[in-house]
């Protein structure tokens, strides 16, 4: 899953693809590099990011979703807002990636069901503005697993078929470095829920903390290491900024594991 951020403030590429034409060109490049899905987002979720109105998010996202769907991409929309998701599905998206797992806007579940779309339900502790202020868990893996189970039950009760659901531990969303590592180490416990597990480690801060790399774009090698280990523990979808590098690393890892 290649990331297309149509934002001025995303943590690793904010402002680079705010123009719709530049974002579509970037998405096309990621497709050429081997992305299966493009995840288009118009609101940064980095710690301390400010909120974006539905109108502004729509204005950013819809033309890019339309342009990439026209180019033949399988498009996901990264949003927590019903109006944005609806417009993106109208414009050709087929998947809703909601970092609040339908908590911000419970009506999203009904929309996903009605449109027979796919969805990703992600764990986040608190909300972006405060999520990195001393996050605490009894046991991070058990807590995240129980949360994902409950959100999946909610989605199913709202009419989303279980087969349309993918689950994501939300790496970096209200987690310390050690919480993130523990989730990756024990990812098989989330895979045991029986749905494809999505991981988003790409260029994230915990990788910078381990390697000493301050600049997110310099965390590509670190990203590959984390993704390869996540694959080995059963992850199915890898949300990444660097598609070509990730594709090669994951193909080699997958071929090795298959032997
Ligand atoms: N991470 C980010 C955004 N959306 N969605 C899922 N399912 N999983 C993730 O780990 C995830 C996500 C953050 O990365 P990015 O989009 O590059 O940054 P920003 O939120 O600053 O735009």
- pTM for the whole structure: 0.97
Residue 60 CB–ligand 1 contact under 6 Å: no
pLDDT at 174: 95
Q: State both tokens at 1.
A: 């899953």
| CA-angle at 197, arms to 47 and 97, nearest 5° | 50
Residue 3 CB–ligand 1 contact under 6 Å: yes
Q: Are 154 and 100 in contact (CB under 8 A)?
A: no
Q: Which ligand 1 atom sits closest to the C-alpha of 204?
A: 14
Q: Are 148 and 165 in contact (CB under 8 A)?
A: no
What does the pLDDT look like over 173-192, one tens digit per residue?
999 999 999 999 999 999 99
What does the pLDDT look like over 35-55, one tens digit per residue?
999 999 999 988 777 889 999
pLDDT at 132: 79
Mutation choice for ligand 1 from 23, 43, 46, 201, CB with most ligand atoms inside 8 A: 46
pLDDT at 134: 83
Q: Which of 38, 34, 43, 45 has the alpha carbon at shortest distance from 23?
A: 38
What does the pLDDT look like over 46-98, one tens digit per residue?
877 788 999 999 999 999 999 999 999 999 999 999 999 999 999 999 999 99
Residue 167 CB–ligand 1 contact under 6 Å: no
* DSSP bridge partners of 75: 38
Q: How far is the CA of 200 from the centre of ligand 1 (A)?
A: 7
pLDDT at 128 over 80: no
pLDDT at 51: 85
pLDDT at 131 over 80: no
How large is the average pLDDT for residues 98-109?
A: 97
Q: Which ligand 1 atom sits closest to the C-alpha of 49?
A: 21
pLDDT at 4: 97
How large is the average pLDDT for residues 153-157?
A: 98
Residue 43 CB–ligand 1 contact under 6 Å: no
pLDDT at 155 over 90: yes
Q: Which residues of 65-102 are buried (b: 16+ CB within 10 A; e: fewer)?
A: bbbbbeeebbbbbbbbbbebbbbbbebbbbbbbbbbbb
Q: Which ligand 1 atom sits closest to the C-alpha of 97?
A: 7
Q: Closest Cα to atom 21, ligand 1: which residue?
A: 10
Cα 101 to Cα 53, 96, 166, 258, distances in angstroms: 19, 10, 10, 32
pLDDT at 130 over 90: no
Residue 230 CB–ligand 1 contact under 6 Å: no
Q: How far is the CA of 259 from the centre of ligand 1 (A)?
A: 33
How large is the average pLDDT for residues 113-129?
A: 93
What does the pLDDT look like over 206-228, one tens digit per residue?
999 999 999 999 999 999 999 99
């Amino acid at each position: 899953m290649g990331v297309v951020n149509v934002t001025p403030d995303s943590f690793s590429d904010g402002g680079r693809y705010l123009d719709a034409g530049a974002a579509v060109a970037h998405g096309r490049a990621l497709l050429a590099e081997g992305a299966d899905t493009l995840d288009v987002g118009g609101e940064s979720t980095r710690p301390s990011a400010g909120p974006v109105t539905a109108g502004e998010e729509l204005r950013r996202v819809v033309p890019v979703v339309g342009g990439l769907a026209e180019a033949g991409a399988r498009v996901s929309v990264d949003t927590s807002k019903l109006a944005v998701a609806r417009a993106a599905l109208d414009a050709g998206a087929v998947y809703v990636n909601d970092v609040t797992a339908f908590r911000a806007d419970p009506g999203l579940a009904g929309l996903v069901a009605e449109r027979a779309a796919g969805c990703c339900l992600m764990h986040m502790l608190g909300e972006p503005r405060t999520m990195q202020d001393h996050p605490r868990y009894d046991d991070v893996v058990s807590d995240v697993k129980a949360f994902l189970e409950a959100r999946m039950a909610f989605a199913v009760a709202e009419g989303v078929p279980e087969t349309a659901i993918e689950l994501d531990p939300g790496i970096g969303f209200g987690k310390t470095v050690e919480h993130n590592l523990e989730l990756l180490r024990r990812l098989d416990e989330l895979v045991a829920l029986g749905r494809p597990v999505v991981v988003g480690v790409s260029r994230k801060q915990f990788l910078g903390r381990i390697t000493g790399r301050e600049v997110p774009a310099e965390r590509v090698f670190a990203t590959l290491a984390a993704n390869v280990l996540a694959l080995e523990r059963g992850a199915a979808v890898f949300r990444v900024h660097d598609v070509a590098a990730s594709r090669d690393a994951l193909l080699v890892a997958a071929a090795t594991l298959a032997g």
